[in-house]
Amino acid sequence: MHPILGWIIGIVGVVILGTLLDLFLSEHRMGKYIRSVFAAVTILVIVLPIPSLINNGFNFDTDFIIQNEWEFDQNFLNFADRMRMNSLQRGVEAQLSADGIAGARVEIAGSVVNQEIIVASVRINLTNAVIQENLAHINRYEHVATLIMRYLSIERGRVVVFSDD
């Protein structure tokens, strides 16, 4: 634990203890003496660590103020990246539906680098897809691949369109 954090916790602990004792003490003479003792202890807890901090090269800027140091929780970052990929998948599915191909299942493989999604491959399952009547006589695999290439700005080699029927 950082020495300053321990110092602050000690101060807070003594103040809380003194406050609790003050609540339970009555207004008799002995209560005044106990409050005085706790006030003195609080002052000592505040003052005593100061010389050791000064002797150990205490620097207010580096020891007390939090620097621009960030610690990232890798699990949270991975979760956020998965959520972005899932959102992109749902967005592509919604765009396909708006373009007349409802019910297609999209799986995007890729990574997030510097807040940018890098798409490695896209798999589109058309097994449960419902295609509008005006698109019935086209090569649906090539049409969907072209749409995906346009949506995601990727090459044809990264797009796989298939159906189980």
pTM above 0.75, yes or no: no
> Are 100 and 135 spatial neighbours (Cβ–Cβ below 8 Å)?
yes
Output the domain CATH number for residue 85: 3.30.300.30
Tell whether 95 and 46 lie within a shared domain.
no
Contacts of residue 23, defined as CB under 8 A and 6 or more positions apart, other chains included, come to none
User: Could you tell me the residue range of the domain that residue 112 belongs to?
Assistant: 74-162
Of the listed ranges 70-74, 85-89, 106-110, 122-126, the least confidently predicted one is 70-74
Tell whether 91 and 45 lie within a shared domain.
no
The predicted structure's pLDDT at residue 65: 53
For 44-56, write each residue's pLDDT tens digit. 888 877 777 666 6
> Are 38 and 17 spatial neighbours (Cβ–Cβ below 8 Å)?
yes
Tell whether 52 and 80 lie within a shared domain.
no
Residue at token pair 């110092």: 7
Output the DSSP codes for 79-135.
Answer: HHHHHHHHHHHHHHHHHHHHTTEET-EEEEEEEEETTEEEEEEEEEE-TT-EE-GGG
Is the model's pLDDT at 63 over the cut of 60? Answer: no
Tell whether 55 and 79 lie within a shared domain.
no
The predicted structure's pLDDT at residue 89: 93
Mean pLDDT of 72-76: 74
Domain count, the chain: 2
Is the model's pLDDT at 109 over the cut of 60? Answer: yes
